């Protein structure tokens, strides 16, 4: 614990960036604070550019009209919901291997934002489905998997909320997150397989096989905006979690005494 800290202290401001230096909450806290505003600004700027491309540059779709513009929020949300789950599982594995409490905090900081994206993907999927397929919900493989993913997020958060001891909550949550991550591809495959049997719902979401490049760009920029926002939200939440959990340690006390509003 003290070894990596001292080695990092020997090179203040050196270009060589010691990763383990930031593996403890008290060193990570200020770093997260410094990263917050860049994340927000990046998210806002990218979102503005993405929306501009999505609404003003990208042409109206020949078959779907303007309803397809939901794609610029739907697809990035769906991507993020999956990426965030993987990131959660990754931090859980790191936490279990290296026994770093910050990794578990990171994972639980990501979960609500991931659940938010899963919900947004479902919501926008339903609103897109109505004009395109004539119904708000079809048991399409992707929509169904997204729903299950949303339930997985809920399960993870509910389990953590039900356990008072943070150490147990961390580890139990990590276990279910990893089991869930293993299951997600199996679930996707099974639902897809089920879908081919019940032909009624075999409408594909790949409605635009020859997607205009501007559409693709809009989606990409919006995805990056969602990415930046997710990082910002997770950092903000992890900072709150750090203070909540480490309230009785010296570094939080010093922080609290050194003026509440400073980062």
Question: Residue numbers of the site for another protein (CB under 8 A)?
Answer: 55-56, 58-60, 65-67, 69-70, 73-74, 77, 112-113, 116, 119-120, 123-124, 127-128, 130-131, 148, 151-152, 154-155, 158-159, 162-163, 167-168, 171-172, 175-176, 179-180, 182-183, 186-187, 189-191, 193-194, 197-198, 229, 233, 236-237, 239-240, 243-244, 247-248, 252-257, 260
Work out whether the CA dihedral 201, 202, 205, 207 comes out positive or negative. negative
Nearer to another protein, 18 or 214 (CB): 214
Q: CB of residue 13 vs another protein: minimum separation in angstroms?
A: 28
Nearer to another protein (CB atom), residue 8 or residue 228: 228
Q: Crossing angle of helices 213-245/250-257, nearest 10°?
A: 100
CA distances from residue 145 to 15, 100, 126, 140, 182 in whole angstroms, order as listed: 44, 31, 14, 8, 13
Q: How far is the CB of 185 from another protein (least distance, A)?
A: 10
* Residue keyed to tokens 């917050």: 36
Least spacing, CB of residue 251 vs another protein, in Å: 10
CB atoms within 10 A of CB 161: 11
Residues 6+ apart with CB under 8 A from 118: 77, 81, 146, 149, 150, 153
Helical packing angle, 101-133 and 141-162, nearest 10°: 150
Shortest reach from residue 224's CB to another protein, in Å: 15
Cβ at position 123, least distance to another protein in Å: 6
Which of 8/74 has CB closer to another protein?
74
């Amino acid at each position: 614990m003290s070894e990596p800290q001292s080695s990092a202290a020997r090179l203040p401001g050196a270009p060589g960036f010691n990763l383990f230096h930031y593996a403890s909450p008290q060193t990570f806290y200020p770093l997260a604070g410094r990263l917050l505003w860049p994340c927000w600004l990046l998210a806002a700027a990218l979102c503005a550019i993405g929306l501009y491309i999505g609404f003003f540059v990208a042409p109206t779709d020949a078959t779907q009209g303007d309803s397809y513009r939901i794609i610029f929020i739907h697809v990035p949300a769906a991507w993020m919901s999956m990426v965030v789950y993987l990131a959660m599982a990754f931090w859980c594995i790191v936490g279990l291997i290296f026994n770093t409490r910050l990794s578990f905090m990171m994972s639980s900081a990501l979960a609500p934002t991931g659940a938010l994206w899963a919900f947004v993907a479902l919501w926008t999927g339903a609103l897109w489905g109505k004009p395109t397929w004539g119904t708000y919900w079809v048991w399409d493989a992707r929509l169904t998997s997204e729903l299950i993913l949303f339930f997985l997020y809920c399960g993870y958060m509910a389990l953590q909320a039900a356990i008072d001891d943070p150490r147990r909550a961390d580890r139990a949550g990590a276990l279910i997150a990893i089991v869930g991550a293993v299951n997600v591809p199996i679930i996707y495959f099974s639902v897809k397989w089920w879908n081919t049997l019940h032909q009624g719902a075999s409408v594909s979401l790949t409605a635009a096989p020859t997607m205009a490049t501007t559409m693709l760009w809009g989606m990409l920029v919006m995805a990056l905006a969602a990415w930046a926002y997710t990082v910002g939200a997770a950092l903000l939440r992890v900072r709150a979690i750090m203070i909540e959990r480490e309230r009785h340690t010296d570094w939080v006390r010093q922080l609290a005494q050194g003026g509440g509003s400073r980062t």
